[in-house]
Amino acid sequence: MHTNSKTVIFIHIPKAAGTTFKEILWRQYGYRDSFKVQPGERTQPSIDKFRQLPESKKSRFRLIYGHMPFGLHRWLPRSAAYITILRNPAERVASEYYYVLRTPIHPLNPELVGKNLSLQDYIRKIADMNTTNLQTRWVSGCVDFDSVIPPYENLPANALDLAKENIENFFSVCGLIERFDESLLLMQKILGWKNVYYMRRNVGKRQASKDQLPRATLRLIEKHEEKDLELFEYAAKRLAEMLDANSIGDEAIRRFRAENRLLGPPLFMREVFVRKLSTIAKTMLHFQ
């Protein structure tokens, strides 16, 4: 059971519902008591900044979140509780491909668009960069914290075992995007959260269903993402066991979804309104 003496660390796996989930996290822990590891080229400077902070400031953070690997707890002066949300590797990689295509500022966008690269080409590209099996890499912590930007070194042979051990020993909950509501209710119970109603955020225009992918593409993903596939299956089994142990069954899920349809949209609009007011207030203070 989580207590206020622990800092929650959310490892945001790219293209795994992180934007939606962050709204819920901010509601639990607040903006001022959170530290964000910035994405992309700013990731390394963010991590370096955090490691250099005085312990008195680090101890005030209730939440640390962002695109980062496991291991940041080593620089915390108090205990940490990790959480993350995994995704079926085929759908995650396909979703990432379409995201890169529609995002001009992404480093790989010019090559994908300029050379008209297919999803299979993209899979081969990230394999060359050693960024396949990203979920295993990040959850295992097999990343040099002095060099967190890809291309990465080859994964060690025991990376998958390390990822499973970390989930067992350090993660309060390892959820799944495919069982998002169940994962939320489990986190609510284990971490003592309050309101977890939500609206989906940053959902790609092109949904990446593995059932719609060509067989040849699936075989290529299975070849290059085999560790993530096994990690996903392991996490799915463990999540099911934890749901059963915490008496979160079909009836609880149906009730939550019915309530979320009614309460999620108004809550989301209120949060957007509050953030806009806060931005306006800060802008006015800046020019005074």
Instruction: Tell me the average pLDDT across 100-127.
Output: 94
Higher pLDDT, 166 or 278: 166
Question: In whole angstroms, what is the distance from residue 102 CA to residue 105 CA?
Answer: 9
| Phi, psi (rounded to 5 degrees) for 77 | -80, 0
- The pLDDT tens digits of the residues spanning 81-97 come to 999 999 999 999 999 99
Mean of pLDDT over the chain: 88
Question: In whole angstroms, what is the distance from residue 282 CA to residue 288 CA?
Answer: 10
- The pLDDT tens digits of the residues spanning 218-264 come to 999 999 999 999 999 999 999 999 999 999 999 999 999 999 988 87
Q: Which of 109, 126, 102 is nearest to 221 (CA)?
A: 126
- The pLDDT tens digits of the residues spanning 137-177 come to 999 999 888 888 888 889 999 999 999 999 999 999 999 99
- The pLDDT tens digits of the residues spanning 10-31 come to 999 999 877 789 889 988 998 8
Give the range among 100-114, 185-199, 228-242, 272-286 with minimum mean pLDDT. 272-286
Domain segments of the chain: what residues?
A: 7-87+134-205+225-280
Q: Which of 121, 133, 248 is nearest to 185 (CA)?
A: 248
Question: In whole angstroms, what is the distance from residue 146 CA to residue 261 CA?
Answer: 44
Expressed in percent and rounded to 5, the helix, strand and coil fractions of the chain are 60, 10, 35
Partners of residue 171 on adjacent β-strands: 82
